[in-house]
């Protein structure tokens, strides 16, 4: 089973997709964790190529697919999701959780059960629960709405209706204490995130997926589950703000709502009790190579194709495992080997590269209380968002084209 995210097929990584090794007839599976392209034609062309190379392709959309760049035909990002799903159906790409995936050569006593589930999601600003960094007095770091392209190109014409519906649902579910409760203010992203999360429940498909996993456990099988999304379910999957060139990025990368859904799988498996059941969650969006097991015994993995410019400027923070380049002819990351029931990075092989930042957090505790900007971040924010005088001095004293490692978190 192979993984890629952040494909950006529109010319940037088309050659990679065209020249991927042919894994057809190996019962091969490709997981595509979003950001295939902005245009439906590019999404279709990409998936036509993927399904020629792999037996099965699973997919969940990213933010780029929901950009409405053609105002005549695309006026609603939520409606565009349906158009993307129609393209997937036409190409034979799966967007719903799987039944139990057949595992060959197990003999009469088949003990292994494998499941895979795309989890469709969006981010919310409430995901950012860590303190802001301390910027210099003459630096004003802009709000996320001013920086992220999504706020300009994604269109949500029914947002006010969703807010009313969800507010009424909340009041109804808490009617006994509603009068004594002060209404909490949520970001617009929160309502979008909830609306998109509900796609996972259509036709009861997620509940059936959980029931299938539960049944396999009751049958005594060793259960392996791969869930994946474009966005992050845990804030621990992105470097602390003091390390990010745009420190407010954490407000537009992940979702607690997404994590609640992923954790339902984790709780069902009771990871750590028998040591047999396994859960990995793959993701994308932030353009960092990542392979790390957190305290819940879930392995979190990202392998982003990113952009050629990013690979040229900061390759160390993109490499993960045997995925070391987006050059044509290379393969996506081998995420999971069904034959050995092993995830990439799960062995004791010290040569495996978990990713620059995953390795950092294997060795260092996360410390969001440290609000001091890293030197390369201080230089960057001062040059980009500092006062006119500060910008002038920074430009004169540094190379504006230089990109210090670990570098930018990428186009998002």
Q: Could you tell me if residue 64 is inside a domain?
A: yes
> What tokens were used for 78?
């939520």
CB 343 within 8 A of CB 277: no
pLDDT of residue 183: 62
pLDDT of residue 403: 40
CB 67 within 8 A of CB 113: no
pLDDT of residue 178: 46
Distance CA 265, CA 210 (A): 7
Q: Could you tell me if residue 186 is inside a domain?
A: yes
pLDDT of residue 398: 53
pLDDT of residue 70: 79
pLDDT digits (tens, 9 = 90+) for 208-255: 999 999 999 999 999 999 999 999 999 999 999 999 999 999 999 999
φ/ψ (deg, to 5) at 119: -120, 110
pLDDT of residue 74: 79
pLDDT of residue 397: 58
CATH number at residue 172: 3.60.21
pLDDT of residue 175: 54
Q: Could you tell me if residue 409 is inside a domain?
A: no
pLDDT of residue 410: 36
What is the number of domains present in the chain?
A: 1
pLDDT of residue 172: 63
Q: Could you tell me if residue 124 is inside a domain?
A: yes
Exposed (0-12), middle (13-18) or buried (19+): which is 29, by Cβ within 10 Å? buried
Q: Could you tell me if residue 375 is inside a domain?
A: no
Q: What does the CA dihedral 266, 270, 274, 280 come to, rounded to 10 degrees?
A: 0
Domain span at 258? 2-134+144-367
Q: Could you tell me if residue 392 is inside a domain?
A: no
Q: Could you tell me if residue 391 is inside a domain?
A: no
pLDDT of residue 347: 75
Q: Could you tell me if residue 203 is inside a domain?
A: yes
Distance CA 384, CA 280 (A): 38
pLDDT of residue 273: 62
For the chain, the 3-state helix, strand and coil shares in percent, each to the nearest 5, are: 40, 15, 45
> What tokens were used for 349?
């092989």
Distance CA 233, CA 121 (A): 9
pLDDT of residue 182: 54
Residues of the chain with pLDDT under 70: 71-73, 105-110, 171-183, 272-275, 348-350, 388-412
């Amino acid at each position: 089973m192979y993984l890629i995210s952040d494909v950006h097929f529109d010319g940037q990584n088309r050659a990679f997709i065209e020249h991927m090794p042919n894994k057809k007839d190996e019962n091969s599976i490709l997981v595509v964790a979003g950001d295939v392209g902005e245009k439906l034609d590019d999404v279709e062309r990409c998936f036509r190529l993927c399904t020629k190379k792999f037996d099965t392709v699973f997919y969940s959309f990213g933010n780029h697919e929901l950009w409405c760049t053609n105002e005549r035909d695309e006026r609603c990002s939520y409606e565009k999701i349906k158009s993307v799903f129609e393209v997937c159906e036409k190409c034979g790409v799966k967007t719903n959780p799987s039944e139990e995936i057949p595992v060959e050569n197990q003999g009469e006593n088949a003990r292994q059960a494998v499941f895979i589930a795309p989890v469709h999601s969006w981010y919310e600003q409430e995901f950012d629960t860590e303190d802001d960094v301390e910027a210099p007095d003459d630096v004003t770091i802009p709000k996320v709405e001013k920086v992220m392209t999504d706020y300009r190109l994604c269109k949500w014409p029914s947002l006010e209706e969703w807010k009313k519906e969800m507010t009424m649902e909340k009041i109804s579910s808490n009617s006994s204490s509603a009068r004594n409760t002060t209404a909490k203010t949520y970001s617009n992203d929160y309502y979008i995130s909830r609306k998109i999360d509900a796609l996972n429940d259509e036709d009861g498909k997620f509940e059936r997926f959980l029931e299938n996993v539960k049944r396999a456990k009751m049958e005594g099988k060793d259960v392996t589950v791969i869930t994946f999304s474009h966005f992050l379910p845990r804030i621990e999957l992105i470097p602390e703000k003091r390390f990010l060139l745009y420190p407010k990025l954490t407000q537009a990368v992940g979702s607690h709502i997404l994590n609640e859904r992923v954790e339902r799988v984790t709780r069902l498996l009771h990871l750590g009790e028998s040591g047999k059941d396994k859960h990995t969650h793959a993701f994308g969006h932030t353009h960092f190579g990542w392979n790390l097991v957190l305290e819940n015994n879930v392995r979190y993995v990202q392998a982003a194709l990113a952009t050629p410019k990013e690979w040229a400027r900061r390759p160390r923070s993109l490499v993960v495992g045997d995925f070391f380049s987006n050059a044509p002819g290379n393969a996506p990351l081998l995420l999971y080997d069904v034959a050995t029931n092993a995830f990439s990075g799960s062995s004791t092989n010290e040569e495996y590269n978990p990713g620059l930042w995953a390795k950092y957090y294997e060795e260092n505790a996360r410390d969001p209380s440290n609000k001091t900007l890293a030197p390369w971040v201080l230089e960057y924010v001062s040059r980009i968002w500092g006062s006119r005088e500060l910008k002038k001095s920074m430009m004169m004293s540094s190379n504006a084209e230089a990109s210090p490692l670990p570098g930018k978190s990428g186009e998002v």
